[in-house]
Structure formats: structure tokens, C-alpha cells
Structure 1
Amino acid sequence: MLNIAVTVGTLAATTALGLSAAAAASAAPSGVSAVDQTIGDLRSEGYNVIVSRTGTGSPDQCTVTGVRPGQTYSRTDSGVPGNLLGTPGPNIATTVLNKTAYVTLSC
């Protein structure tokens, strides 16, 4: 029984990581986008944004050249209150604690 719970927990955590990476990739701008808008959109989705840039231009002259997912930290718990063992569905919950996106700028 414990092996099943561990396997389900591992699958849930892996799925959560894959979904969060896809969300960061889908947040990538198509074409030239305002830097502040891109960073603001990612932050509003819960990402910690780390910005790297090339060039010495002022920030208002920068364009986004790439957005990529970073590390996602999650926690998987069993024994979730209100979801008893033996009821349909697993008794496991995965909570995303922190997620990061890297934004590359060209100035």
C-alpha cells in the first residue's frame, strides 16, 4: 500500500513540474514585446523572474529575446483532510511552493 502511495506521489510531482514548465514556455512572447509587460505577466502568474540582459542600452530600449522555465519547488502530502483512504481518487495533494522563470533581454 505504501509503495502505491509513493508511486502516485512521484507521478503527481512529476506532472506538476511538467505543467509549470509548460506554463513558463507558453508565457514566452511572440515577436517583440514590452519588457515590463512580459515580466509583469510572469509575476502575476506566480513566477519569480530572473532577468539577464546583453548590451548597454537603457531598459526602455530592451526587447525580450527569450523566456525559459527555471526550478519549481513543490511538496506532495498524503493524508489530505477531507479525502479519506478508500474513497474514489488518491489521498495525495501536491502544492507548488515556488516557481522561477528566466527572461533574457537584448538592449
Structure 2
Amino acid sequence: MKNFGFATVAATALAAGAFALAAPALAAPSAGGNAQDTISSLRDQGYKVVVNRLSNAALDQATVVSVGEGTAFTHSVSGANSDGDKLYGPVTTRTVYVNVR
């Protein structure tokens, strides 16, 4: 029984390491688009977006200066799906920093 527990822990650690090393591709700022479009696109891809404003311009009038990848962190969630089944498990949240002017 100890071997099964060790194998389970080892497999989980290896899988988590593989996911952590997989670098996600970031959506590059689109030419002609505004900052709001880029931020919405990143959020739609599942990123937690942190906006650094370099001016007082509204986001729909601002341009993106740069997009940088932040840290990813894993946390546990619980809830229910549409069938009412309970779901538990780890979720990895990816962060990006968007500088706008």
C-alpha cells in the first residue's frame, strides 16, 4: 500500500512539474487595436490580467506598450457542474502584466 501511495504522489508531482514548465503563448498586442481589446482577449484566454497604466487615457483609447508573463499559481477549488456532481481539484491561474499608454 505504501508503494501505491508513493507512486501516486510521484505521478502527481511529475504532472504538476510538466504543466508548470509548459510556457503558454501570450496574445501579442494587435496592431490597430486598443488596450481594451487586448485585455479582453487575454481574459478570454483564461489569464488574470494586471493593467499598469502609463497615462490617464481610457482603455478603449490607450495603446498597449508591452505584455509580460507573470507567475502562475495553483489553488484548490470546489463546486458543482451542471449535473449537480461535486467537483474538487487544483486550478492553475496564469497572470500577465499589460502596460498601456
- Larger relative contact order (C-alpha < 8 A, sep ≥ 6)? 1
Q: 1:18 to 1:96 in 2, by over 3 A?
A: farther
1:21-36 to structure 2, matched below 5 A, reads 21-23=23-25, 26-29=26-29, 31=31, 33-36=33-36
Q: Is the 8 A contact 2:37 2:60 kept in 1?
A: no
Alignment of 1:1-107 (within 5 A): 1=3, 2-19=5-22, 21-23=23-25, 26-29=26-29, 31=31, 33-74=33-74, 95-105=90-100, 107=101
Q: Is the 8 A contact 1:72 1:96 kept in 2?
A: no
Q: Matched residues, percent identical?
A: 34
Segment drifting more, 26-35 vs 60-69: 26-35
Kept in 2: contact 1:50–1:102 (CA 8 A): yes
Return the offset for 1:56.
Answer: 4.2
| Equivalent position amino acid for 2:20 in 1 | L
Task: Return 5+ residue gaps in structure 2 as ranges.
Answer: 77-88
Partner of 2:83: none
Any unmatched runs of 5+ in structure 1?
A: 77-93
Q: Which has the higher helix share?
A: 1
1:31 positional shift: 4.7
Q: Is the 8 A contact 2:34 2:59 kept in 1?
A: no
TM-score by length of 2: 0.62
Q: Give the Å deviation of 1:48.
A: 1.6
CA distance 1:57–1:37, shift in 2 (3 Å): closer
Cα displacement (A) at 1:5:
2.4
Q: CA RMSD in A?
A: 2.7
